[in-house]
Amino acid sequence: MTRSILDDAILAKAASRILARLDSNVKNEVLQLMAAGLEQCSEGLLGENQQDVQSARQRVSAGLLSSAALERLTLNADKLSQMAVGIRAVAALEDPVARILLRSELDDNLELKKITCPFGVVAAIVEARPDAVAQLSALALKSGNALMIKAGEEISRTTDAMLAVFRNALETTHIPIHAITNVQGREAVHELLGLREYVDLVVPRGGAELVRFVSSNTTIPVLGHSDGVCHIYVEASADQEMAIALILDSKIQAPSTCNAVETVLLDQAIANDFVPQLVERLRAYGVKVRGCEATRALAGPKIEAVSDTEWHTEYSDLTLAVRVVSGVDAALEHIERFGSHHTDSIVTRDERVADRFLREVDSAGVFHNVSTRFSDGYRYGFGAEVGISTGKLHARGPVGLDGLLTYKYVLSGAGHCVSEYVGPRAPRSLRHQLAVQV
C-alpha cells in the first residue's frame, strides 16, 4: 500500500460531488451491474471467501472466533444470490436525493426550498460480514454518498474481491471509482476516524463493543446503536396469557438480536400467580431465568440472583432476568436506570397506563401489547435498513435510506437584498407562503 487513507479520502470527497448530482437511472444502472457482477464472478468470489474461511476456522479452533461469526462470514452460492437480490431491491427503491421537504414563497420570485442531499463521504466500519459490505455499498450509492468501507480483517480477501466487482461496475458507467473505497488494515481505522474534514458520517455495523469503540474514537458524527437491553413490563391488568406469549416471542424467537427482550418487569399484584407460570413456560423452551429476591421466593431456589449491577446486561442468549416491581412508577424508573433506550414494551389492558408508558419511556421504540422483536426496519416497512440507532440526533430506531441523507436550503431570487426588508420604512415584507411542508 503506497497510497494513504488521506489521499483516498480526498478522492472520495471529489467523487462525492459527482455522486451528489447523478441521475437516478445511472445510479440504478450501476446497482444492476453490481448485482450481476456478484453473480458472474461467483466462482472467483467463493474461492477468495474459501481462503478467508480456512483462516477463520483456525481462529475458531484456537478459541479466537465464535462459530456464529464463522457462519456469518462463510459465503455460498445461495448467500451470494441473496446479496444480488438485496442490491436489486435497493435499485428498485425511489431515489431519496433531491426530495423537496419544504417549499415556501418568501416574496415575489424569492423561493425557498429545503431539499434532501447526501452527506458526502460515509465511512462504514463493519464486522466480518460480506452481506453488510454489499448492503452498505448499495445503500451508499443509491443515496449519492461516497463510501469508505473497512470490513473485518477475517474477510479481507472476500471484501477485496467484492469491491473489485463493484468498482468494475462504477468504471463501466463512468463513475469515479472512489465512490467506493476499500480501507485496508486494522491500523487504518484510527486514521479514518480522524479525517473529520473529509468524512461526514461514520456508520459502525457490528456488536456493541465495535460501536462503543468507534463512538469514543471520533468526533465525526456516528450513526449507530450500542446496546439492546429491552424490557417487557407486565402491568397488573395485563392479559396474562398474552403477556407470556409476548415474552416467549421476544426472547426465544432470535435471542442474539438486539431487539430481543432481556428483562421482564412485573407488577407485585400479580406476581404470586404469574411468576411460577412464567418460569415454567420459559423453562420449557430452555430459557434460563435469573431473578430478583421476590422472583426467587416465588419460583424456587434454582433461580440465580441478579445483582444490582447486572440489570443493564444484554444476555444475547436464552437467559432472561425477571424483576417484581411495585407498579408503573418503579417500572419506569428501572427502565430509565438500566435500559439502553432501544425498545421497551408494556402489556396492559389499561389504556391510561399504556399512554403514560408510551409517553415517558425514553426509547426509540415504545410498544403496547406487542413483541419487542417488531423493532426492525423491514418490519416497519422501510424497505432497507442502514442500522438501528439508540442515539436521538438525526436518526432514531431502525434507520432506512433516509439515515444517509441530510438536507440543504436552496433559495432562488432575482437580486433580492435583505436591506429592502429591514427597518421601519422597509419597502417590502416577507410573506412566507408555504406551498409544501413534509
Name residues contacting a second copy, limited to 72-131 (CB under 8 A): 98, 104, 106, 110, 112, 117, 119-120
- State in angstroms the smallest separation of the CB of 333 from a second copy: 9
Strands 304-305 and 433-437: unpaired
Is position 417 an interface residue for a second copy (rule: CB under 8 A)? yes
- 222: which DSSP letter? B
Distance CA 207, CA 229 (A): 13
Residues 162-191 that bind a second copy (CB under 8 A): none
**Residue recorded with cell 466487482:** 165
Strand pairing partners for 397? 389
Vertex 116, ends 112 and 119: CA angle to 5°? 125
- State in angstroms the smallest separation of the CB of 102 from a second copy: 9
- State in angstroms the smallest separation of the CB of 120 from a second copy: 6
Distance CA 184, CA 195 (A): 16
Closer Cβ to a second copy, 36 or 194, answer by number = 194
Strand pairing partners for 343? 365
**Residue recorded with cell 397506563:** 353
- State in angstroms the smallest separation of the CB of 14 from a second copy: 9
Q: Which of 106, 116, 117 is nearest to 435 (CA)?
A: 106
Site string for a second copy, 215-254 (x = CB under 8 A): xx--x-x-x---------------x--x--xx-xx---x-
- State in angstroms the smallest separation of the CB of 380 from a second copy: 6
Greatest CA separation found in the chain?
83
Closer Cβ to a second copy, 137 or 372, answer by number = 372
**Residue recorded with cell 431539499:** 115
- State in angstroms the smallest separation of the CB of 126 from a second copy: 20
Binding residue (CB under 8 A) for a second copy from 373, 384, 385, 399 = 373
Q: Which of 228, 204, 198, 229 is nearest to 216 (CA)?
A: 204
Burial group, residue 25, by CB count within 10 angstroms (0-12, 13-18, 19+): exposed
Residues 351-370 that bind a second copy (CB under 8 A): 354, 356, 358-360, 362-370
Strands 180-182 and 304-305: unpaired
Strand pairing partners for 290? 304, 321
Site string for a second copy, 25-64 (x = CB under 8 A): ----------------------------------------
Closer Cβ to a second copy, 272 or 419, answer by number = 419
Closer Cβ to a second copy, 13 or 205, answer by number = 13
Closer Cβ to a second copy, 66 or 256, answer by number = 256
Residues 2-21 that bind a second copy (CB under 8 A): 13, 17, 20-21
Binding range to a second copy, per CB under 8 A, among 48-56, 62-70, 272-280, 404-412 = 404-412
Distance CA 10, CA 140 (A): 17
Distance CA 88, CA 197 (A): 33
Residues 315-334 that bind a second copy (CB under 8 A): 332
Residue 87: all three cell numbers together: 442490491
Residues 264-303 that bind a second copy (CB under 8 A): none
Q: Which amino acid is at 216?
A: S
